[in-house]
Amino acid sequence: MAEQVSTGRPSSALRRVLIPLALAQFICSFAGSNMNVMINDMSEDLDTTVQGIQLAITLFLLVMAALMIPGGKLTERYGRKRCLNLGLAVYGVGAVVSAIAPGLPVLIIGNSILEGVGTALLIPPVYILTTLLFVDVSGRARAFGAINGMAGLGAATGPLLGGLIATALSWRAAFVFQALVIVVIVVLSRRDVRDPLPADPTRPFDIVGAVLSAVGLVLIVMGILAADDNGWLCAGLILAGLLVLAGFFWWVRTRERAGKDPLLATALFRNRTSNLGLVTQNIQWLVLMGISFVVSAFLQVVRGYNAIETGLILTAATVGLLASSLAAQRLAQRRSQRTLILAGFVLTVAGIVVFLVLVGLSKNVWAYLPGLFLTGLGIGAMLTPSVNVVQSSFSEGLQGEISGLSRSVSNLGSSMGAAIAGTILVVQLGTRPGSSYAAALIVLAVISLGGLAASVFLPGTTVSATAANPHTPNAPAR
């Protein structure tokens, strides 16, 4: 692999590597949000309900979250490039199955399970390869900025592109589009992406830990989804999930004490800066996906907008997200990661408040735009800094584990956002649509304030001033 030049800008070879990696992140984020604008079309075609489509969306995000940690660990045993290729293949099959689904059960198999499993396999290699290949601090910051910008872009443009495709052709064509992008990624990655480290087939894999972590996360999110049907069931599932996760951490600690390789090193949870960064990551994606689902459902079910109209309205958030994401590298050189994350949460909360106030005063389409723009601007401003904080807190030897944990936490946030906001909205959508959608957004604003509180305790350093050395164990975060 070509070396980077002294200016910190990636070489042409590394820029070619970045294209398929960024595209992979884009399509996975796109898949998590594009169905939001097709709720009516899909529910009618598949003879299901809004709740049914919400379930498929949430399960897709949940499968990603539950399997991302094992997916990151498998890269050490089978190689990063091989896991990337396997993930792309599984994802592509899932997209095709979704496109031809005759009903909700097959859609869940294709979209929620196969695409979810494929994403869990391919996303950890994206971040690990980026960390390993971009050894220059400035070059890595640019690479992470591009990949996380594509993550936010995929989530934000999902409604618009999904709406355009669904209106012009069919919702099924949106899954064909995903399959075609996967083919492009396979071609580009086959030519340009190389794994800099050899795989270790003898590396043990903690099956018990993988099962416990996945079951715990699934129970918690399923408990949230059950809140609209049975409060006792909701509480029981969440409690069971917490107990299973407690068992997971006990198991991990037991294996470490016995000198065995656990699914996750407990050292990952002893870094205060990384822990705070993970909290902000989780909340960012929770809020982004929650707002996307609530606003999309309200516009279609309550206000009667079609898929393309809904996507166009949500473009305001996309513009804001793009504006701040494109400026992420310049901002990181002038402001600390802590400042950028703080500002992001402040803008996000302000955007939700502006949205509620203006939409409450007017039914004009322009009333939606300022709040959505501010929200997108805020989330885009903090996506890259949060990832930089987490990834750069650990040595090269822990990159597989921290990458899986980081992506799992982010995708857990996405699934919780769709579950929490969607549940609040769906509960009273037929009888009290205005109050239910407002309540969901208020809950998201309160959760954002929690992220703001967590970011206050992050260290106030800039990338240029105190860049972390990824080869130094437990290096301070950028």
* Structural domain contains residue 6: no
Instruction: Examine the domain organization and report whether 63 and 185 are in the same domain.
Output: yes
Taken as a whole, the chain contains a residue count of 478
Query: CATH code at 112?
Result: 1.20.1250.20
Residue 32 pLDDT exceeds 90: no
For residues 1 and 376, the model is more confident at: 376
Band the pLDDT of 25: cuts 50, 70, 90.
confident
pLDDT of residue 256: 84
Instruction: Examine the domain organization and report whether 17 and 36 are in the same domain.
Output: yes
Contacts of 258 (CB under 8 A, 6+ apart): none
Mean pLDDT computed over 103-115: 92
Q: Is 35 exposed, middle or buried (0-12, 13-18, 19+ CB in 10 A)?
A: buried
* Structural domain contains residue 72: yes
- Residue 404 in contact with residue 71, Cβ under 8 Å? yes
Q: What is the pLDDT of residues 322-332, one digit of tens each?
A: 788 777 667 76
Band the pLDDT of 213: cuts 50, 70, 90.
confident
Of 223, 245, 262, which residue is a domain's last? 262
* Structural domain contains residue 469: no
Instruction: Examine the domain organization and report whether 352 and 288 are in the same domain.
Output: yes
pLDDT of residue 433: 53
Instruction: Examine the domain organization and report whether 275 and 257 are in the same domain.
Output: no
Instruction: Examine the domain organization and report whether 254 and 283 are in the same domain.
Output: no
pLDDT of residue 222: 79
* Structural domain contains residue 475: no
pLDDT of residue 179: 93
* Structural domain contains residue 202: no
pLDDT of residue 54: 76
* Structural domain contains residue 447: yes
Mean pLDDT across the chain: 79
pLDDT of residue 97: 95
pLDDT of residue 137: 59
Band the pLDDT of 471: cuts 50, 70, 90.
very low
- CA-to-CA distance for 373 and 324, rounded, in angstroms? 11
Band the pLDDT of 63: cuts 50, 70, 90.
confident
Q: Is 57 exposed, middle or buried (0-12, 13-18, 19+ CB in 10 A)?
A: buried
Instruction: Examine the domain organization and report whether 105 and 232 are in the same domain.
Output: no
Q: How many structural domains is the chain composed of?
A: 2
Which tokens in the block code for residue 141? Answer: 């910051």
Band the pLDDT of 113: cuts 50, 70, 90.
very high
Instruction: Examine the domain organization and report whether 363 and 283 are in the same domain.
Output: yes
Q: Which domain holds residue 21?
A: 12-195+263-455
Residue 12 pLDDT exceeds 80: no
pLDDT of residue 258: 84
Query: Rg of the Cα trace of the chain?
Result: 21
Please give, one letter per residue, the 3-state secondary structure of 391-419: HCCCCHHHHHHHHHHHHHHHHHHHHHHHH
- CA-to-CA distance for 54 and 419, rounded, in angstroms? 8
Residue 88 pLDDT exceeds 90: yes
Instruction: Examine the domain organization and report whether 54 and 144 are in the same domain.
Output: yes
Residue 5 pLDDT exceeds 60: no
Mean pLDDT computed over 52-68: 81
CB atoms within 10 A of CB 307: 29
Q: What is the pLDDT of residues 164-191, one digit of tens each?
A: 888 888 889 989 999 999 999 988 888 7
Q: What is the pLDDT of residues 398-450, one digit of tens each?
A: 665 676 677 778 777 877 787 777 677 655 554 555 577 788 888 899 999 99
- CA-to-CA distance for 364 and 357, rounded, in angstroms? 13
Instruction: Examine the domain organization and report whether 150 and 251 are in the same domain.
Output: no
Residue 473 pLDDT exceeds 60: no
* Structural domain contains residue 89: yes
Q: What is the pLDDT of residues 384-401, one digit of tens each?
A: 788 778 877 776 666 656
Band the pLDDT of 477: cuts 50, 70, 90.
very low
The residue type found at 406 is: S
Band the pLDDT of 468: cuts 50, 70, 90.
very low
Mean pLDDT computed over 5-19: 61
Instruction: Examine the domain organization and report whether 122 and 234 are in the same domain.
Output: no
- CA-to-CA distance for 409 and 312, rounded, in angstroms? 29
For residues 380 and 172, the model is more confident at: 172
Mean pLDDT computed over 193-222: 81
Residue 94 pLDDT exceeds 90: yes
pLDDT of residue 117: 92
pLDDT of residue 109: 93
* Structural domain contains residue 464: no
Instruction: Examine the domain organization and report whether 258 and 276 are in the same domain.
Output: no
For residues 215 and 143, the model is more confident at: 215
Which tokens in the block code for residue 144? Answer: 């992470």
Of 223, 242, 262, which residue is a domain's last? 262
Instruction: Examine the domain organization and report whether 367 and 241 are in the same domain.
Output: no
